[in-house]
Amino acid sequence: MPPSLRLPARAALLSRSPPEPGVPRVPPVPPAASPPPRTPRPRGLAEMPGPSSAAFIFELLCRGGVRRLHEMQVHGRARFGPLWKARFGPVLTVHVAEPALVAQVLRQEGPEPRRALSCPWKEHRSLRGVPGGLLTLDAAAGTEGVIRSVGAVLALTLVTMALPRPLLRLVPAPWDAFCHAWDQLFAFAKGHVDRRMAEVAARGPLAEGDTCVTDLLAQERVPVSSIYGNITELLLAGVDTVASTLAWSLYELARNPGAQAALHRELAAAAATGGVTNGDSATTDSATAAATAAALGRLPLLRAVVKETLRLYPVIPANARVVPSCDIRIGDYLVPRQTLITLCHYATSRDSRFFPAPDTFLPERWLRHRDSDDTPGDTPGDTPGDTPGPRHPFASLPFGLGPRSCVGRRLAELQLHMALAQILLRFEVWPEPGGGRVRPMTRTLLAPGAPISLRFLER
Ligand code: HEM
């Protein structure tokens, strides 16, 4: 009998981290930043401003724009306003760079949001006849080798997306390298899944309270091909995202000794009261580790440092949605069904109207000043009470929102909190002398444009 996928398991996978009690998943947009007044008759796409296709392609391919896509959001916002259209390779996309309009799009995304019309990741799956995972789902080697393959997939995604197919057939190297990198990732994931499944099969039925993910998946009879697809895509989604964010947060803390000292004080105080241990896996049992994780998640400055890092360096600088089955209104425009919308998160999270001194690392901007009369605002789905309100709740959305939001968010935050706590409790972090400013670059994800060099001095 072919293994089947039980719907409850799938539903559980797709429902994201539940909002904290009392927090609506999509909070009301504060009046100060509500959408601009509507014109009586919405305008069509033909009237929307934007660069000519030739100018955009020239910028992308000849002036290194693919690596500067995040900056092009900011320039596009300054030149064309909050909405503009551009052709990315064969695909026309509408850019949205205003939090209120981002909110308008996300509120119309429908129950089964999609992120792409077509994408080279999906083309690889259909070419190889392997199923994808959550990342490519349409709602309707060794570790070093894996890291290299993740890097290659990320480096080649935008190129394979932007180049027209006939050109890729003429110059097949990027496409071949891209497929090879995915094949390596699939092979790595398959090896691990097969080994684990064999262990599970050898062990017999699940024990009471046995909640290991592999065992649960085996119980639920998810097709093994689907497990391969999902594990492979989790490898991609979970490696560079957390690594880049950790690198950026240490980089900013090293350059901002005041912020680092304040965070160290917060961590040391938590350690002194026994809420936080050093997390050494050799000496920490799982209950203590869980208690430490929970205690770290309640430290306001630690959370603020991660939020501020993701505001300055949103790992996914632009997210996307495909307009569902009917035309939707965005600002003054009516955008036809099946149009690709690019949500310009980098531009909105560096917008000085929502984040004064937008290029400066100021974790304290995320701390609630209980004495002031801040508007109660919060990142959608986030813990209430640690975020001030002068900004827009959709201005910084590093994990996305809604049914397609990041499934690994809590895991990512946990890893970042644990790693920062362990590093800062033991070391002072300083920039390497002579190490200059490191700027971000787009490599599908937003990554450091140069190596980040730091010194770790034992405390
Ligand atoms: C700092 C770390 C991370 C950031 C900033 C991040 C951000 C994001 C964003 C913006 C999305 C798209 C959300 C949307 O379309 O609304 C996403 C999707 C996703 N992320 Fe993450 N992510 C991170 C870490 C992780 C980790 C550690 C994992 C898993 C181990 C993961 C797994 C996924 C998956 C599977 C999806 C696709 C979900 C779907 O389409 O249903 N992410 N992430």
Say how far apart CA 228 and CA 14 lie, in whole Å: 17
Quickly tell me which residue has 């199923």 as its tokens. 131
396 Cβ closer than 6 Å to some ligand 1 atom: no
399 Cβ closer than 6 Å to some ligand 1 atom: yes
pLDDT for 48 beyond 80: yes
pLDDT for 164 beyond 70: yes
Nearest atom in ligand 1 to the alpha carbon of residue 315 is 5
206 Cβ closer than 6 Å to some ligand 1 atom: no
Burial classification of residue 151, based on how many CB atoms lie within 10 Å of its CB (0-12 exposed, 13-18 middle, 19 or more buried): middle
Give the model confidence (pLDDT) of 259-305 as tens digits: 999 999 999 999 888 767 765 655 566 677 777 888 888 899 999 99
Q: Taking Cα atoms as reference points, which of 198, 195, 191, 178 lies closest to residue 128?
A: 178
Q: Average model confidence (pLDDT) for the chain?
A: 79
Nearest atom in ligand 1 to the alpha carbon of residue 411 is 27
Q: Could you give phi then psi for residue 51, rounded to 5 degrees?
A: -70, 155
Nearest CA to ligand 1 atom 20: 406
The secondary structure of the chain in percent helix, strand, coil, rounded to multiples of 5, reads 50, 10, 40
Q: Could you give phi then psi for residue 93, rounded to 5 degrees?
A: -135, 140
Give the model confidence (pLDDT) of 352-370 as tens digits: 999 999 999 999 999 975 4
CA of 408 relative to ligand 1 center, distance in Å: 6
CA of 91 relative to ligand 1 center, distance in Å: 23
What's the token pair of residue 396?
């910084």
CA of 235 relative to ligand 1 center, distance in Å: 11
Angstrom distances, CA of residue 301 to CA of 294, 371, 386, 390: 15, 17, 9, 18
Burial classification of residue 304, based on how many CB atoms lie within 10 Å of its CB (0-12 exposed, 13-18 middle, 19 or more buried): buried
Say how far apart CA 121 and CA 115 lie, in whole Å: 12
Angstrom distances, CA of residue 370 to CA of 23, 376, 381: 18, 10, 21
Question: What is the per-residue pLDDT for 376?
Answer: 33
pLDDT for 22 beyond 60: no
Mean pLDDT for 327-351 is 94
Nearest CA to ligand 1 atom 22: 406
429 Cβ closer than 6 Å to some ligand 1 atom: no
Give the model confidence (pLDDT) of 89-138 as tens digits: 678 899 999 999 999 999 998 888 887 766 777 778 777 877 766 666 66
Higher pLDDT, 175 or 374: 175
CA 216 vs. chain centroid, Å, equals: 26
Annotated binding site for heme: 406
What's the token pair of residue 184?
């390596």
Share of the chain above pLDDT 70, in %: 78
Question: What is the per-residue pLDDT for 38?
Answer: 56
Q: Specify the amino acid at residue 413.
A: E
Mean pLDDT for 229-255 is 91
Angstrom distances, CA of residue 388 to CA of 124, 229, 312: 44, 40, 17
Q: How confident is the model at residue 237 (pLDDT cuts 50, 70, 90)?
A: confident
Question: What is the per-residue pLDDT for 390?
Answer: 53
Mean pLDDT for 378-401 is 65
Say how far apart CA 324 and CA 199 lie, in whole Å: 43
Higher pLDDT, 84 or 240: 84
What's the token pair of residue 376?
């109660």
* Statement: the pTM of the whole predicted model exceeds 0.85: no
405 Cβ closer than 6 Å to some ligand 1 atom: yes
Higher pLDDT, 218 or 318: 318
pLDDT for 416 beyond 90: yes
Question: What is the per-residue pLDDT for 143?
Answer: 67
CA of 455 relative to ligand 1 center, distance in Å: 30
CA of 397 relative to ligand 1 center, distance in Å: 11
Give the model confidence (pLDDT) of 296-310 as tens digits: 888 999 999 999 999
Question: What is the per-residue pLDDT for 415?
Answer: 94
Q: What is the CATH number of domain 40-458?
A: 1.10.630.10
Nearest atom in ligand 1 to the alpha carbon of residue 316 is 10
Burial classification of residue 180, based on how many CB atoms lie within 10 Å of its CB (0-12 exposed, 13-18 middle, 19 or more buried): middle
pLDDT for 33 beyond 80: no
| Continuous segment of H or E residues that includes residue 80 | helix 69-80
Mean pLDDT for 14-19 is 35
- Counting ligand 1 atoms within 8 A of each CB, the residue from 14, 313, 348, 406 with the most, and so the one to mutate, is 406
pLDDT for 375 beyond 50: no
Say how far apart CA 341 and CA 91 lie, in whole Å: 11
| Strand duo 91-96 + 340-343: pairing | parallel
407 Cβ closer than 6 Å to some ligand 1 atom: yes
232 Cβ closer than 6 Å to some ligand 1 atom: no
Say how far apart CA 332 and CA 330 lie, in whole Å: 6
Task: Report the first-to-last Cα separation within the chain, whole angstroms.
Answer: 60
Q: In angstroms, how far apart are the furthest CA atoms of the chain?
A: 68
Question: What is the per-residue pLDDT for 110?
Answer: 82
What's the token pair of residue 332?
């003054």
> What is the torsion angle, in degrees rounded to the nearest 10, for the CA atoms of residue 14, residue 17, residue 21 and residue 26?
-70
Q: Strand, coil or helix: what is 367?
A: coil
